[in-house]
Amino acid sequence: MRYALCANAPETKDNDFTWKDFQAKNNSELVAILGNFVHRTHVLTWKYFNGTLPAVAEYTKADLQVMEEIKNSPKKIADALETFHFREALAELMNLARIGNKYLADNEPWKAITHNPKRVQTVLNVSLQICANLSVLMRPFMPFTADKLCTLLNIQPLSWDAAGNSNLLHDGHQLAESFMLFERIEDEQIEKQIEKLHKSITVNLQAPTVIPQKNSIVFEDFEKTDIRVGTIKSAEKVAGADKLLKLTVDTGIDVRTVVSGIAKFYEADKIIGQQVCILVNLAPRKLRGIESQGMILMAEEPDGKLVFVSPTKLNTADGAIVK
């Protein structure tokens, strides 16, 4: 499967989509990088500060470097988007999440909390400011996930102009309860999608079986048929017959019983009121002991499914003659 990112995109290749690549990108980037950083930051804030944004104690050189990355990210992403470099723009977004993960790993707040809790305050404050910026910067790519991140942070969606600031969240701000932004996609789920895709391709490649045209008839032969529009008034399954429905049809000239082999495709209670085309002058015949007085006209799709032949719009009363 192939699709172009944009008609005017300077990127010279189409994207090749495979379910395996989709799984790998989801698990190794969205889950392991972006989702992991947000989740760790959120969980640690709840664990150490009851879910409230701690105040900065003192910035270190490392903190200021991270804040500079926050400041520069919006322009990098915007410049790439404006020139249709979508992969580059998305890479810049993921890079900010990578910076956040490295920042947490380098500062190890889970260890520092025992001997330097004020340092942990600053680390989690900076980390949450990264999360708030990510909620803005991811919106062009993942608007629904951006909304979920705003819910996690307990904030309203912010404008693009807000991105780049390291004080989007204020001291004491209360976070919402924790949940995962992304879920891992397991092999079993991908195998089901691949199987579905292969079935779809097989069906599409198969040439439909077309029933040959019958022998030609003259107009006088067709004139012998009396086809009218009728309305199904009641329907029930025929006992002992999986395929048959017993229909009561108002033809406009009378109300008659018709036995039709459509039970596999329609539930009896769902077709009450359905307008149908019915051949009313077909000689009656008994089916399962029921006299069938006519034939409901049906169309057969390539897969064998039967569908009603009925008018899309009819302003006259039931019993209109089909010509």
Question: How far is CA 257 from each of CA 227, 230, 231, 298, 306, rounded to the nearest angstrom?
Answer: 16, 12, 12, 17, 20
Burial (CB count <10 Å: 0-12, 13-18, 19+), residue 276: buried
Q: Which of 74, 63, 136, 68 is nearest to 104 (CA)?
A: 63
pLDDT digits (tens, 9 = 90+) for 201-225: 776 666 566 778 888 888 888 888 8
Euclidean distance between the first and final Cα of the chain, in Å?
Answer: 46
Confidence at residue 18, expressed as pLDDT on a 0 to 100 scale: 83
Please answer whether residues 34 and 134 qualify as being in contact, where contact means their C-beta atoms are separated by less than 8 angstroms: yes
pLDDT the model gives residue 259: 93
Report residue 3's pLDDT band, with 50, 70 and 90 as the boundaries: very low
> How many angstroms separate the most distant Cα atoms in the chain?
101
pTM score, whole prediction: 0.59
Question: Bridge partners of 255?
Answer: 250
**What mean pLDDT comes out for the span 175-179?**
93
